[in-house]
Structure 1
Amino acid sequence: MSIAAVAVGESLADRAYAVIRDRLVMLEIRPGDPLNDDRLAAELGTGRTPVREALKRLEGDRLVVAYPRRGTFATAVDITDLAHLSEVRLALEPVAARSAARDAGNADRAVLAGLAERIAALDPGGAPRELLRADVEVHRALYRATGNPHLEDVCVRLDNLATRIWVLFLDRLPALPGHVHEHAALLDAVVAGEEERAAELAKAHVEGFERSIRALL
């Protein structure tokens, strides 16, 4: 898994961060697993320095934890965090949706419109992990469309932690396809500039996430 192809303006550390982050979010690196600098550098086709920089950022995201003389490990998925995550996301997700509906440029609206079509066409019987990856893609595109880097950063971090909880229960979530498909209406509202409707749908989405998980506890 080489990261030799780096986007314009993106450093090797940025790319290493993105790759390792997504493996942590999707629990491909399991909670409690050690993250070895040398092994990751070899897998990613880069040096140890970009990996170390990426791991430091991931520690700030609460996705890894470093212990002196022991090393760096993927953090546990703590279900007791659900209420805390939901409290903050219920406040911020409507803000992000409203902001994107109001401020997104033409290019971002075109991206969101394309995503809406893709989401609407997704096979409900598809692989759960692929459905969840689509969910993550929608969230990140919507946050980017706000044009507010601070809001985007906070929302991405929270969504990453919430997604790890989804993955933990992935095989027991029959509501997942519906949860992902409801993004089509949210994206349509954002593209159309319907600020309040977008905010309402974003809030309902977070509430549905919490209900689905709590039903399994």
Structure 2
Amino acid sequence: MDKPVSMADRAYEMLKRDILRCRFRPGSAILDTYLAAEYGMSRTPIREATNLLRREGLVVVIPKRGTLVKPIDFGELQDTYRMRQLLEPEAAVLASRRANAEELDALAELGEASVSPDADAATLNERNRLLHVRIAELSRIPLLAQTINSLHEEIERFLNFRGAQGRPYTATNHGRIVDIIRTGTEDEIRHVVSSGIERARTHMLEGLMANDNGRTEQAS
């Protein structure tokens, strides 16, 4: 029998989703009274959820400003892609060794869902994260999956904040990753995963540069 979901768990799931989807944008205040009314619960579970999200790094406390959604640090974002390069190619190799055929079939379905033309951008960004996390889960190393999930949560938040979807190469790359995990050599798997991460990093940087250039042109 499933364990009942507590109010604190509900508050945590709703607040985390709203932060990742940038309904509460980076740097915005976390107000217990507002969230309690918004989510239809008391302030106690809101505070418990906020404390959990502080430990996960999505919420910060800044003196004289209060509790805020963590601002996006673009230096940290670059480090996130460096960490992905260190972890995800090996996670995919381990998944290729340890996942069974049924799990790989399910992974292929998740890959297709992550590029569905019927979903909105925020949903696609979430599915992108879930695909990469599922590959890590198939490595059978829970800490690895947990770490990769944290990295992708920060990327998901950035994509939703900037409105950058990255769909043109993502659609091709997701299908290729799943296929190569199923049939490729370990070196081929590492290459495909690493190349995909580098393309994502380049796409992120190009988006930042385009945004900065746009602001400069507007100011001039």
Q: Is the 8 A contact 2:126 2:156 kept in 1?
A: no
Which of 190, 194, 203 pairs up with 2:194?
Answer: 203
Which of 46, 50, 57 pairs up with 2:45?
Answer: 50
Is 1:136–2:134 an aligned residue pair?
A: no
Q: Aligned partner of 1:128: which letter? A: A
- C-alpha spacing 1:106/1:204, structure 2 compared with 1 (3 Å): same
Separation in 2, partners of 1:134, 1:155: 14
Is 1:157–2:132 an aligned residue pair?
A: no
Separation in 2, partners of 1:48, 1:102: 47
Q: Aligned partner of 2:188: which letter? A: R
Separation in 2, partners of 1:209, 1:113: 20
Q: Which deviates more, 157-166 or 102-111?
A: 102-111
Q: Which deviates more, 110-119 or 85-94?
A: 110-119
Is 1:177–2:172 an aligned residue pair?
A: no
Separation in 2, partners of 1:194, 1:46: 52
Q: Please, what TM-score do these two structures have when normalized by structure 1?
A: 0.78
Q: Per-residue deviation at 1:70?
A: 5.0
Partner of 2:180: 189
Q: Aligned partner of 1:92: which letter? A: L
Q: Please give the secondary structure, in 1, of the residue aligned with 2:201.
A: helix
Q: Please give the secondary structure, in 1, of the residue aligned with 2:160.
A: helix
Separation in 1, partners of 2:65, 2:114: 43
Separation in 1, partners of 2:189, 2:10: 31
Stretches of structure 2 that go unaligned for 5 or more consecutive residues are 210-220
Q: Is the 8 A contact 2:59 2:68 kept in 1?
A: yes
Q: Per-residue deviation at 1:16?
A: 3.1
Percent identity over the alignment is 27
Larger radius of gyration: 2
Encode CA deviations 1:34-84: one digit per residue, 9 max, x unaligned. Answer: 122343344334444433232222112221102467532101112222321
Separation in 2, partners of 1:190, 1:54: 37
Separation in 2, partners of 1:142, 1:47: 38
Q: Per-residue deviation at 1:185?
A: 1.6
Q: Aligned partner of 1:118: which letter? A: A
Separation in 1, partners of 2:201, 2:122: 19
Separation in 1, partners of 2:188, 2:104: 16
Q: Per-residue deviation at 1:31?
A: 1.1
Is 1:147–2:140 an aligned residue pair?
A: yes
Q: Per-residue deviation at 1:96?
A: 1.9
Q: Please give the secondary structure, in 2, of the residue aligned with 1:157.
A: helix
Q: Per-residue deviation at 1:154?
A: 0.9
Q: Size of the alignment, in residue pairs?
A: 207
Q: Aligned partner of 1:116: which letter? A: G
Q: Aligned partner of 1:187: which letter? A: V
Separation in 1, partners of 2:195, 2:14: 30
Q: Is the 8 A contact 2:129 2:149 kept in 1?
A: no
Is 1:168–2:151 an aligned residue pair?
A: no
Q: Aligned partner of 1:16: which letter? A: A
Q: Please give the secondary structure, in 2, of the residue aligned with 1:205.
A: helix
Q: Per-residue deviation at 1:176?
A: 2.7
Separation in 1, partners of 2:130, 2:54: 22
Q: Please, what TM-score do these two structures have when normalized by structure 2?
A: 0.78
Q: Is the 8 A contact 1:131 1:177 kept in 2?
A: no
